[in-house]
Structure 1
Amino acid sequence: MEENTNKKSWTGKIIVIVLIVAAIGAYYFIPSVNRTMNNIVKMFASGDFTVVREFVASYGVYAVLVSFALMILQSIAAPLPAFLITFANASLFGWWKGAILSWSSAMAGAAVCFFIARILGRDVVEKLTSKAGLEQIDEFFDKHGQLSILIARLLPFISFDIVSYAAGLTSMSFGSFFLATGIGQLPATIVYSYVGGMLTGGAKMLVSALFILFALAALIVLLKQVYSERQKKKAK
């Protein structure tokens, strides 16, 4: 049984590594891929959702698939901003259809990040960080994982994908991660989709600032909870 598990683990690692090498090779040796990826990076760097909207719309009947792929791409290539795609989807497809597209594609992207980290495994990550550091992350996610994910997802300009990678390196089950991800990002996705097509300029920044303040307030509550538990342990 253990031998079969090890074989599956190595098979998964080989598949992921081959895909990564193939993607890098395509970028450097296929001009059309190189141009497209450079345009996508510039598009995200602009910080303007209308640029993203025009890019997605240019693919016509394939616009939904392109938007879905962009969301997964930004998940893997953290920290590209996902909210630009959410605003673009709302503007192109209407707020509720855009919300469904943004939410489902973000869920797919989060799952990809989670499994990339889990398949590559701790042995690779431990060489880049430390075993003790990863054990601390394990403990944190075991106790506060879902709450941490819920809070992190409310930060529109902080990449949630980093949390997805971190969760994949811990003992958290995929089911727990996926549930917390779905619940945590749904309210923000709905709100961003609803206001994204209507707000411009300073108004967008105001809404984003309000979400950041709310998330920071929630984060303070979490830190207070962690501090209280540590104090209780010391007292014992």
Structure 2
Amino acid sequence: MKTLRWVLIGVLIALAIWLLNKFGIEQVREQVERFGIWAPAILFGLRFTSIILPVLPGTAYAILAGGVFGFVQGLLVVALADLLSCTFNFYIARRYGRGLVERFVGQQFMEKVDRLAQRHLEGNFFLMTGFLMTGLFDFAAYAVGLTQTRWQSYFIALIASILIAKPLWVAAGAGIFEGSQLFLGFALLGAFGIGIVTAVVQRRTQD
């Protein structure tokens, strides 16, 4: 299933690039604009769903948001979707427990949630924030809800992770679609930093 997740991400990114090459970014944006106010709402819904159901790829939607809506609006859509969906994940885990979480993530991925929940996240704010910054953030949101972490601590960690990590993917999309060296440079620099954080927290997961 992990392989399938990355295959789906690759397919969505390839589709976005294909649309860009075939129609051009301006025509793609014109098609999106035909949805009017519903365009950001549709992308918001796709991103929101991909976090609640972690088997669906969400990274491609963040990149697409930057390319179609630009950095500022794209980041707003992604950040709001992540804030609400991760809050929902935490609430579901805290209110209804492991049984309902397993229905959302599936039995195959529940082991990953359990492993994250056992990392003593409630006692280490920076480790919790680190997990929420990585590609495991959707699972981490469920996992933290299964611990004794206070809601206030989780919310602060979630806000911090969104402010630090989410601009990376949106900037990558804006850079790719707009040919901006500045955005691409920012995305590459951010990817290096996130890569270090991911390596550290994954090592903690395996310990």
Same fold per TM (> 0.5)? yes
Q: What is the SS of the residue equivalent to 1:171? A: coil
Q: What is the SS of the residue equivalent to 2:45? A: helix
CA contact (8 A) 1:91 1:196 kept: yes
Equivalent of residue 137 in structure 1, options 117, 123, 131: 117
Equivalent of residue 111 in structure 1, options 62, 87, 92: 87
Unaligned runs of 5+ in 1: 1-41, 227-236
* Amino acid paired to 1:141: L
Q: What is the SS of the residue equivalent to 1:92? A: helix
Q: TM-score of the superposition, structure 1-length normalised?
A: 0.58
Change (3 A) 1:211 1:80: farther
Q: 2:137 matched to which residue of 1?
A: 160
Mapped to 1, the partners of 2:133 and 2:188 lie a distance apart of 11
Q: What is the SS of the residue equivalent to 1:60? A: coil
1:66 equivalent in alignment to 2:45? no
Q: 1:215 matched to which residue of 2?
A: 194
Q: TM-score of the superposition, structure 2-length normalised?
A: 0.65
CA contact (8 A) 1:96 1:190 kept: no
CA contact (8 A) 1:96 1:194 kept: no
- Deviation beyond 4 Å, 4+ runs, structure 1: 42-45, 53-56, 122-126, 133-136, 203-213, 219-226
Q: What is the SS of the residue equivalent to 2:48? A: helix
Unaligned runs of 5+ in 2: 1-6, 20-24
Worse overlay, 71-80 or 182-191: 182-191
CA contact (8 A) 1:149 1:184 kept: no
1:81 equivalent in alignment to 2:57? yes
1:148 equivalent in alignment to 2:113? no
Mapped to 2, the partners of 1:181 and 1:47 lie a distance apart of 26
Mapped to 2, the partners of 1:120 and 1:148 lie a distance apart of 24
* Amino acid paired to 1:149: M
1:156-204: CA deviation from partner (whole Å, max 9, x where unpaired): xx3310001101111112221121111112122223223322227xx99
Once the two structures are TM-superposed, the CA of residue 103 in structure 1 deviates from its matched residue by 0.6
Q: 1:229 matched to which residue of 2?
A: none
Q: Which structure has the bigger radius of gyration?
A: 1
Q: 1:5 matched to which residue of 2?
A: none
Mapped to 2, the partners of 1:124 and 1:61 lie a distance apart of 33
CA contact (8 A) 1:154 1:184 kept: yes
Query: Percent identical across equivalent pairs?
Result: 19
CA contact (8 A) 1:138 1:171 kept: no
Change (3 A) 1:121 1:206: same
1:88-111: CA deviation from partner (whole Å, max 9, x where unpaired): 222222211111111111111101
Mapped to 2, the partners of 1:84 and 1:119 lie a distance apart of 30
Change (3 A) 1:205 1:105: same
**Matched residues, number:** 179
